[in-house]
């Protein structure tokens, strides 16, 4: 599941492949930006912001979001793609590589000067150089909703997805339905930042320290199984800011009170 760590690695890979090169192929396959043509422009950098990717090209930015299924691939120029072409939403190519975004969401081309319109609402990003844990804690502690919902709100903190949030709350011993105002927001943010930074260099996430299949999480995806700490059966449910934004929630009724 693409979360902030996945987006960070994707941006690094794209930046290594593209930065400093000139665009020779530019094909956006979504309404609104399909006519954009940045061929001949220089690619300055590719940077992550929470779950958003920003490819700065000339005076413009190609903005994309991986959502649940999205991915960017890097290919040698002319080589075969590993995914069906009908799933491609954006192609940025140079003299030696083609980068292809499959199943992307929020794909658009806009002036770089207008980036704030699409990412300005985001909260502090624990993987960014300007990470501000105090501001993230302030935003979380002011949110009266269930802490699980508040942590997923990218306006409070940018980058955490459902897997991270479930694991953060287990390790902190917090019931997901607890109002965020009743938690130690600073401690939650400190743990979350350490978790996502520890995983940013890994191909497969682990929260337990054991990367073997089926052993990497404490509670996420483990409904009906014994808690790794106390042996109580892990429970599951759903929470969300609204009916269309509900996410699966996993918790141990003994370890998380």
Instruction: Give, in order, the Cα–Cα distances in Å from 83 to each of 11, 87, 89, 106.
Output: 19, 7, 12, 20
- What residues are labeled active site? 2-3, 51, 247
For residue 232, give the DSSP letter: P
Phi-psi region of 173 (alpha: psi -120 to 50; beta: other; left: phi over 0): left
What are the percentages of helix, strand and coil residues in the chain, rounded to 5?
30, 25, 45
Question: Which residues 6+ apart lie within 8 Å of 103 measured at CB?
Answer: 67, 69, 70, 71, 87, 89
What is the rounded CA–CA span in Å between residue 235 and residue 256? 11
């Amino acid at each position: 599941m693409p979360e902030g760590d996945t987006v960070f690695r994707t941006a690094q890979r794209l930046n290594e492949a593209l930065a400093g090169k000139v665009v020779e192929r530019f094909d956006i396959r979504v309404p609104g930006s399909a006519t954009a043509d940045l061929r001949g422009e220089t690619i300055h950098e590719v940077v992550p912001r929470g779950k958003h990717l920003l490819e700065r090209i000339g005076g413009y930015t190609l903005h994309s979001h991986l959502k649940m299924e999205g991915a960017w691939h890097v290919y040698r120029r002319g080589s075969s793609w590993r995914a069906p072409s009908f799933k491609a939403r954006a192609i940025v190519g140079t003299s030696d590589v083609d980068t292809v975004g499959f199943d992307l969401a929020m794909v658009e081309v806009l002036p770089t000067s207008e980036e704030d319109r699409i990412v300005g609402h985001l909260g502090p990003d624990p993987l960014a150089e300007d990470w501000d844990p105090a501001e993230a804690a302030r935003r979380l502690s002011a949110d009266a909703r269930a802490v699980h919902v508040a942590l997923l709100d990218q306006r409070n903190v940018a980058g955490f997805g459902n897997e991270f949030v479930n694991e953060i709350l287990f390790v902190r011993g917090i019931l997901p339905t607890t109002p965020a105002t009743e938690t130690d927001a600073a401690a939650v943010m400190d743990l979350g930042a350490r978790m996502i930074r520890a995983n940013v260099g890994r191909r497969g996430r682990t929260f337990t320290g054991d990367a073997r299949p089926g052993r990497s999480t404490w509670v996420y995806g483990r409904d009906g199984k014994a808690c790794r700490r106390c042996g109580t059966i892990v429970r599951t449910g759903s929470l969300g800011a609204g009916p269309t934004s509900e996410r699966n929630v996993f918790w141990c009724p003994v370890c998380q009170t």
